[in-house]
Structures are given as structure tokens and as C-alpha cells.
Amino acid sequence: MAGFEPGSLPDLLPLYYRRLFPYGPYGRWLSYGGVVKNYFQRREFSFTLRDDVYVRYQSFNSPQELEKEMQKMNPYKIDVGAVYSHRPSQRNTVHMGAFHAQEKELVFDIDMTDYNDVRRCCSSAEICSKCWILMTIAIRVIDRALMEDFGVRHRLWVYSGRRGVHCWVCDDSVRKWSSAMRAATVEYLTLVKGGSETVKKVNLTDPIHPFISNSLSLVEPYFEEYALVGQDILGSSESWEKVVALVPESVRESLLREFPKKHDSIQRWELLKKKMEKCKPCHAEWEIMLQYCFPRLDINVSRGVSHLLKSPFSVHPKTGRVSVPIDLRKLDQFDPFAVPTISCLCSELDMAHEEEDGEKENEAEPEPRRRTRDYKKTSLAPYVRVFEQFVEEMDKSRKGELLKRSDLQGDF
């Protein structure tokens, strides 16, 4: 695989946008079946161009127009914003105050740097396979809550390209949520509270809400591997002191005394659990698990209806990795380091092209078809497949809704 150099972006991006970006399903996604008038046309996009030039309020008359513009501008980064009351590019023709954001997907941004206080394997800017488990846990917990508690159906989880994951919740009703609803949702999903000043960030009181108990049963299976083995949180006195600070005072002294007698984190955790049995009303054991593993959301990303978020299939300018959808059926096997970079994809394209040289190329073949074949020859293929399935699911349920409605109305 070719290593990625940020300096090569100007050469690679044109190829990526001509031959690899999945415009078909992308346009279908954002059109949402064309049910609402001018929905796609009123969507804001923003582009980050060379030399950090940033342009907002871009809007397009069709997915094809978006495609042409992307191929012309070759943006380093693409963000997706809200659907506004009027076409964003024409906002200056609208009365003051009348131009406003109307709808947008509910989005979540989970970034590894928010866990810096509980991971020792990496410095702030990096990730590794040991701490990636935190993302897996986050996806499991949030996804279950979205589906079971919030009754949401259409969620797209995407690797951000560097240190985290995004979630796009696309149900019709959810896209209409106010910022108060979005903030309320994040609040419901938040258990870890407090900044660098706060030592104990999770405090549980009885009764334990079903959201917490459901989440705990998802966190528990990962705790040993992540915290006890990978992060070795009870491996040395320096690290176990931090953990002991989270248990009730009455138990601390005896733990500090007896920990050195044990051999590893796993044994020490057992000891801690035993001690906690004796002071029954408190839940320190759970609180520790949650403080080290529970998802940490950025409320500012989710709350604003007009907030812009990196588009799926956008390239990360620093790592070169593509923001690819994550297949939830294979969540535990997802490896962020195996996600293709733009340079690797382009060289895969070159190699495939060389193989074709031998065959006769049909010059009359239309571009879109060639492109469909193109990404299939690269490592991007499985990720586009996940995306296509996501869009198909939405199409299906939309058709189902329309059928139901027409049944009720008696139209045929």
C-alpha cells in the first residue's frame, strides 16, 4: 500500500472525485426519495479548498450538479449542513430572518481525544488497536439506545478518518427535531460528566434506569479486554491510585494495602469487586467501568440544526483515509488502520487500469458506468456496498410508508 503524503492531495483528489466517489447512492441518500419539494436543492454543503480556503452555503440544483462542482473544485474536505428554508446559495435574496435552517439529520461525533484521561496507550493525537475498542463500545451503546429507546431505524455509522466515528440518524421525523430535542437526546445518553477538575465522573444512584443497565450489559463484555488487559488500569500503583480514588473512602485504604499482593489487573479487579460487595448500596464497580468505557459525546455537534459535519466518503486531509461507513454486522472486526487511504485507492486504480490495457476499452461507454466498475476494483468496494444497503433500506421503508398511506386513503 502506498504511504500517504498530504502534499500529494492535489494530484490524487481529481482522480478520487472523477473515478471513485460514489455519487449515485450519495445523491439518492440526500434526495430522500424526492418526496419533499427541493429538499436536495435547499441543502447546504461546505467545501474546504487548497490553502484552507473555506466556502459555505454551497447548494446545488441536482446531485449531478454537485458532482460537477466537486470535480471542478476538488475540495480537500466536504461538510454537509442543514436543509434550509431557501436555497443557501440564494440566501442573500431572502428577507432578513426568513432564511433559516429547517431540517437536518441528527448527528453524533465521538472523538478519541475526549477519552484522554482514561487511556494510557496513546498520546492525545493518536489511536491504536487497544483504544479503538472504546469506539466499538460507543457504537454498541449508542446504537442500541437509538434503536430500542428512541425507535430510530436509519442510522449510518461512519469512520471519521482519523480518531473517531460519526453517526447520521436519518429517519424522517428525527430530521425535523428542534435543537432542544437534540440536546435532550444527548443529555439522556450522557453518563460521564465533568472536566479535568472532576475526579469522579460517574455517579449512580438507585434506582438504576434501564438505559444504564442496558448499557452496562453491553460494556461489561469489553471491560476486561480493554481496561484490565489493554490499558492495564490496575497494573501499577500509579494507575491503580486513580481507580481507587473512585471507590468509597471506607474501602480505599484496604485496597491500597492489598493490591500490591496481587499479580495483575485482573486479580486486583476481582479483589475490588469483592470489597464492593460489602458496601452494598454503592455502585463503584459499575461507576469505574462506565468512567473508563462509556461513550462521550460532544453536545455541540449534535445540538445545532445548522451544524456542519464531515461528509461520508470525504477524505481526511491529514491521514488520507476516506470516511467510510462501518458495517455494524462486523463491528468487532472493524480496523481503522485497514481503511483505505486515497493514495492506496489511486494506486489500486492504476494497477487495475494496467490490467485492462490488454483488453479492448469501449470508448463509447458512459462515465458513470465506468466509474461504477472503477470503485469495485478497489478496497473501497465493500464500504460503498454498506452505504448502498443503507440507502436501499431507506428507499424500502419509504415505499412501505407511501403504500400504507395510500391504502388508508384508498388511492391505488
Among 10, 188, 193, 407, binds other proteins (CB under 8 A): 188
Per-residue binder mask for other proteins (CB under 8 A), 277-316, x = binder: ----------------------------------------
CB 342 within 8 A of CB 9: yes
Q: Which is nearer to other proteins, 54 or 188 (CB)?
A: 188
> Cβ 337 to other proteins, closest distance in Å?
37
Output 57 or 211, the one with its CB closest to other proteins: 211
Q: How far apart are CA 195 and CA 188, in angstroms?
A: 18
Grid coordinates 478519541 are at which residue?
A: 112
The contact mask relative to other proteins for 198-217 (x = CB under 8 A, - = no) is ---------xxxxxxx----
Among 53, 184, 245, 279, binds other proteins (CB under 8 A): 184
Binding window for other proteins (CB under 8 A); candidates: 15-23, 156-164, 180-188, 322-330: 180-188
Q: Point out which span in 181-189, 258-266, 292-300, 326-334 binds other proteins (CB under 8 A).
A: 181-189
Return the residue of 49, 53, 181, 199 that touches other proteins, per CB under 8 A. Answer: 181
> Which one of 67, 103, 109, 374 is the catalytic residue?
109
CB of 167 to other proteins, least distance (A): 17
How is 113-176 classified by DSSP, letter by letter?
A: GGGGGG--SS-TT---HHHHHHHHHHHHHHHHIIIIIS----EEEEE-SSSEEEEEE--HHHHT
Q: Of 79, 103, 105, 111, which is the active-site residue?
A: 111
Cell reading at 84:
434550509
Torsion of the alpha carbons at 279, 291, 225 and 247, rounded to the nearest 10 = -30
**Is residue 177 within the footprint of other proteins (CB under 8 A)?**
yes
CA torsion sign, 223 to 145 to 169 to 333? Answer: positive
Burial of 96 (0-12, 13-18, 19+ CB in 10 A): exposed
Q: Which one of 44, 67, 105, 287 is the catalytic residue? A: 44
Indicate left, alpha or beta for 272 from its phi (over 0: left) and psi (-120 to 50: alpha): alpha
What is the smallest separation between the CB atom of 208 and other proteins, expressed in angstroms?
Answer: 6
Distances (CA, A) of 298 to 81, 204, 251, 384: 17, 21, 34, 27
- Which segment (28-36, 73-81, 173-181, 312-320) binds other proteins by CB under 8 A? 173-181
Told to judge if 232 belongs to the known catalytic residues of this protein, a careful annotator would answer no
Per the annotation, the verdict on 44 as an active-site residue is yes
Q: At what angle do helices 249-258 and 265-278 cross, to 10 degrees?
A: 150
Name which of 207 and 410 has its Cβ closer to other proteins: 207
The site map against other proteins for 213-252 (x = CB under 8 A) is: x---------------------------------------
Piece of the chain touching other proteins by CB under 8 A; list 148-156, 193-201, 309-317, 372-380: 148-156
The interface with other proteins within residues 76-105 (CB under 8 A) comprises: 95, 97-98, 100
Asked about 392 being catalytic, the answer comes back as no
* Closer by beta carbon to other proteins, 184 or else 351: 184
CB 271, min distance to other proteins, A:
29
Between CA 148 and CA 236 the distance in angstroms is 40
Contact 105, 29 (CB under 8 A): no
Measured between alpha carbons, how far is 412 from 131 in angstroms, rounded to an integer?
54
Does position 54 interact with other proteins (CB under 8 A)? The reply is no
Residue 401 found at the interface with other proteins (CB under 8 A): no
Report the nearest approach of other proteins to the CB of residue 293 (Å).
Answer: 19
Rounded to the nearest 10 degrees, the angle between the axes of helix 249-258 and helix 237-244 is 160
Size of the site for other proteins (CB under 8 A): 25
Grid cell 449512580 in the structure block, residue:
204
Query: Identity (one letter) of the amino acid at 387?
Result: F
- What distance in Å separates the CA atoms of residue 15 and residue 389, rounded to the nearest whole number? 25
User: Residue 111 contacts by C-beta under 8 Å, 6 or more apart in sequence?
Assistant: 160, 163, 164, 298
- How many residues does this entry show for the chain? 412
Q: Which residues bind other proteins (CB under 8 A)?
A: 95, 97-98, 100, 148-152, 177-178, 180-181, 183-185, 187-188, 207-213
Indicate which residues carry an active-site annotation.
Answer: 44, 109, 111
